[in-house]
Amino acid sequence: MHKIIFFASAMLCLFASKTFAQETFEQRAKAIAERIETITKEEKDALKSEVETVNQQLESGQITQVQADETKSKLADTRAKSIEYRVGIEESKLTDLVKEKVEGKVSSDSDSRQFGFFWKSNGKNAEANKKRMDSLNLYRSDRRTTSQLVFATGFNNTVNEGDLGTLNDSDFKFNKSQFYEWGITFNSRLAKNSNLLHAKYGLSLMYNNLRATENRSFVVNGDQTDLVKNPIHLKESRFRNVYLVLPLHLEFDFTKKKVDGDKTYFRSHESFRFGIGGYAGVNVKSKQILRYEMDGQKVKERTKGDFNVNNFVYGLSAYVGYGQVSLYAKYDLSPIFKDNTIDQNNVSLGVRFDLN
pLDDT tens per residue, range 245-299: 999 999 999 998 887 777 777 888 889 999 999 999 999 999 999 999 998 899 9
User: Does the pLDDT value for residue 15 go beyond 50?
Assistant: no
Number of domains in the chain: 2
Q: Are residues 200 and 92 in the same domain?
A: no
Provide the pLDDT confidence category of residue 215 given band limits of 50, 70 and 90.
very high
Tell me, yes or no, whether 75 and 157 share the same domain.
no
Same domain, 157 and 305: yes
Residue ranges with strand state E in the chain: 145-160, 178-191, 194-211, 216-221, 224-229, 234-253, 258-260, 263-265, 272-294, 297-304, 312-322, 325-332, 344-355
Residues 245 and 214 in one domain: yes
pLDDT at 4 over 70: no
Domain end, chosen from 140, 170, 189, is at: 140
Angle of the 65-102 helix axis to the 123-140 helix axis, nearest 10: 130
91, 106, 140 — which closes off a domain? 140
Check whether residue 256 and residue 287 sit in a common domain: yes
Q: Are residues 188 and 148 in the same domain?
A: yes
Same domain, 134 and 152: no
Q: What percent of the chain has pLDDT over 90?
A: 47
Residue 214: DSSP 8-state: T
Domain residues for the domain of 38 are: 1-140
What one-letter code names the amino acid at 53? T
- The last residue of one of the domains, among 140, 157, 181, is 140
Are 238 and 355 part of one and the same domain?
yes
126, 212: one domain: no
- Do 62 and 108 fall within a single domain? yes
How far is residue 85's CA from residue 253's CA, in Å, rounded to a whole number?
26
Same domain, 215 and 66: no
